[in-house]
Amino acid sequence: MVLALFSFCADAQTSFNPFDKKEKKDNKSPKKLIQKNHGAIIGLQKGMGTAFELGYEAHWRKMSLSNPSIFGATTNMEYDVSNHLLAYRAGMWMKKGRVNLTYGGNLVYINDLEGQHKYGIAPAVGFRLAGFHFLNSYNLLAGDDLKVNTLFVSLRYYFPVDNKFTWDRKTMKRKKQRQKEKEKKKEERVKERENKTGIKKLLNI
């Protein structure tokens, strides 16, 4: 299950861009540099019990001097060593500004490896700096009577394994348009030279 989630997120990371908006007629809008990366996360969770986290995370960051923003998608697996529970989470979070908090949430599935399980959602608020992400979250769960972390904190560290930079869709469209115009002018110059050469040959004859 968790491997399928990892594979899905890896595929989506290459095509999804949360900063793409419907294009406007104004071609004078500023250029936006988008950073895309993905990698592994490890973490430690503490509540009623202690759990270790291992997962995958993808980031889309809008580079800006005035108002940068970052959007993240995460899938991870947890093992609660205190209560012997295995959990899976898939969620998203976002942050605007340089030192602002992160806001997000997760879908949660927990089982005790003996047939009992819980499932639900977990909203989260956190703070992210230099690869570290400190989260405060609350599990809102339904299902069997299992002893799980309800209110808990976790500290994660992110290891990027792939990093790419690209311009936003509007800027890329303008770049492609300029490239087409250059190629068209080049073809016109080639044809013009060929025509002049042909005329010279006719005059020599």
Residue range 125-166, pLDDT digits in tens: 999 988 899 999 999 999 898 889 899 999 999 998 877 767
Same domain for 90 and 180, yes or no, is: no
pLDDT digits (tens, 9 = 90+) for 105-117: 999 999 998 889 9
pLDDT score, position 66: 72
> What percent of the chain has pLDDT above 90?
41
Same domain for 131 and 41, yes or no, is: yes
Tell whether 28 is covered by a domain.
no
Residues in the chain: 205
Tell whether 65 is covered by a domain.
yes
pLDDT score, position 94: 94
Q: Are strands 102-111 and 33-46 parallel, antiparallel or unpaired?
A: unpaired
Tell me the pLDDT band of 205, cut-offs 50, 70 and 90. low
Which domain, by its residues, includes 203? 167-205
Question: CA-CA distance, 74 to 71, in Å (whole number)?
Answer: 10
Question: Do the beta carbons of residue 10 and residue 56 sit within 8 Å?
Answer: yes
Tell whether 26 is covered by a domain.
no
pLDDT digits (tens, 9 = 90+) for 17-48: 666 555 444 445 556 678 889 999 999 999 98
